[in-house]
Amino acid sequence: MNHAHQFYRARRDALLRTMREQSGGGVALIPTAPEVPRNRDSLYPFRHDSYFYYLSGFPEPELYHLGFAQADTCGRTIAENADIAIGAKVRMSENVINQAGMEPLKRAIRACEIAGGGAKVMCHIGGVATPELMSQILDALRQGDILTHCFTGFPNNAGKFTNIVQEGKLLPAALAAKKRGVLFDVGHGGGSFDFTVAEAAMQQGAMPDTLSSDIHVFSGNSPGMPYLTNVMGKFMALGFTLEQVVQMASAVPGRIINRAPMLGTLQVGAPADATLVDIVQGPVEFVDTRNNKRSGKVQIKPVQAVLAGIAYGRPYNAPFSPS
C-alpha cells in the first residue's frame, strides 16, 4: 500500500468508528447530483461520479478499494435502467486503481455481461501502471467497447509514458483493438489529449471514432480549453474535414448510444438538439494538455445551443403568451 492508500483507509476507518461509537451505528448519506441536472446536457451517463467526495469534501479515487466495484450490482443497475444506462465506465489509471492490475476492467466487463442488452464498457486510460497493463487492457476490450482518452499523454505515477503510443510506435494491441471494432473516443479533458500521440496513432492506423470534450469545472479552465467545438477544431487542424468532425461529434456517438432514433442528426423526428456555430476562417493556435501547439486555419465558435427544442440562454417559451 502506498501512502495515499493508507491515508484513505485511515480516514474511512475513522468515519466508520465515529458512526459506530457516537451514534450506535448509523448511515452515511452521500449526496450525488444526477448528471442531467448538474450539467443539463448529458442525457446518457456512464456513471455519476469518478471520485468520492464523501463527508470531508476531499476527493478520493473510487477504486482504491475494489470493494466498490461490484459487478453483479452494477450489472443489475444497468439492466434495470437500460433506457438511459449505456454501460459501465472504469478508470484504469494508476492514480485511480493503484496496483489492482486488470481486476477493475474485468469487473466492468462482467457487469456488462450480466446487464446484457449490448451494455458497453467505457475504459478510461491515461497513466496506467505499466506498458504491459496498457496492452492487456487493449486485448481485453470487446467489439463495441469504448477506449476513452484514447490519445492521452498522461504519465503514470512514476512519470513514465504508458499510453497507446510508446516511443513513437502505436502498440500492436491498439491496432488490433481498432481492427476488432473497439471504439476510440477522444475525451480531451484537462489532461487527456496529446497531439503527438494523436498524430502517431492516426498515421499508424488508429483513427478516432468519436470526438468528445470531457468538459467539467476543472478541464474547462485548463489551457487546452476542451470545449467540444475546440476539440473539433483541433481535429480539423489535424486534417479532418468539417463534415467529418461534425459527424464524429454528433451522429456517430448518437448511433453508438443507440437509444433514441436518429439521435445526433437533424432528420425530421429526431430529438431537437442542435448547436448553431460560426465557422471562422483565419489562423488559430490550438494547445493540447501537454503544451504542444498546432496551428489551424479554421475555428468553430458556438453561438447557440438548443436542447429538446429549447434554446439555452434565452427565456423559456412562455406558456402564457398571447398566441
CB of 20 to Zn ion, least distance (A): 35
> How big is the site for Zn ion, counted in residues (CB under 5 A)?
1
Residue 154 and residue 191 in contact, taking contact as beta carbons nearer than 8 Å? yes
Q: Which stretch binds Zn ion (CB under 5 A): 75-83, 123-131, 235-243, 252-260?
A: 123-131
Cβ proximity to Zn ion, 186 vs 300, nearer residue:
186
Give the nearest residue (CB) to Zn ion.
124
Which cell goes with 264? 445526433
For the chain, report the end-to-end CA distance as a whole number of angstroms: 67
Give the H or E element holding residue 139: helix 131-140
Cβ proximity to Zn ion, 187 vs 237, nearer residue:
187
Cβ proximity to Zn ion, 192 vs 299, nearer residue:
192
Distance CA 81, CA 89 (A): 15
Distance CA 247, CA 210 (A): 8
Q: Which stretch binds Zn ion (CB under 5 A): 14-22, 38-46, 122-130, 306-314?
A: 122-130
CB of 131 to Zn ion, least distance (A): 20
CB of 188 to Zn ion, least distance (A): 10
Cβ proximity to Zn ion, 138 vs 246, nearer residue:
138
Cβ proximity to Zn ion, 49 vs 199, nearer residue:
49
**Residue 194 contacts by C-beta under 8 Å, 6 or more apart in sequence?**
151, 152, 153, 154, 163, 288, 289, 290, 292
Cβ proximity to Zn ion, 212 vs 250, nearer residue:
212
Find where cell 471514432 sits: 209
CB of 93 to Zn ion, least distance (A): 8
Q: Which stretch binds Zn ion (CB under 5 A): 7-15, 95-103, 118-126, 273-281?
A: 118-126
CB of 125 to Zn ion, least distance (A): 8
DSSP letters along 173-218, please? HHHHHHHHTPEEE---TTT---HHHHHHHHHTT---SB------TT
CB of 147 to Zn ion, least distance (A): 11
**Residue 33 contacts by C-beta under 8 Å, 6 or more apart in sequence?**
48
Q: How far is CA 244 from CA 152, 165, 282, 303, in A?
A: 21, 24, 20, 20
| Pairing mode, strands 87-91 and 120-124 | parallel
Q: Which stretch binds Zn ion (CB under 5 A): 63-71, 117-125, 137-145, 259-267?
A: 117-125
CB of 149 to Zn ion, least distance (A): 6
Q: Is residue 124 near Zn ion by the rule CB under 5 A?
A: yes
Question: Which residues of this protein are in contact with Zn ion, per CB under 5 A?
Answer: 124
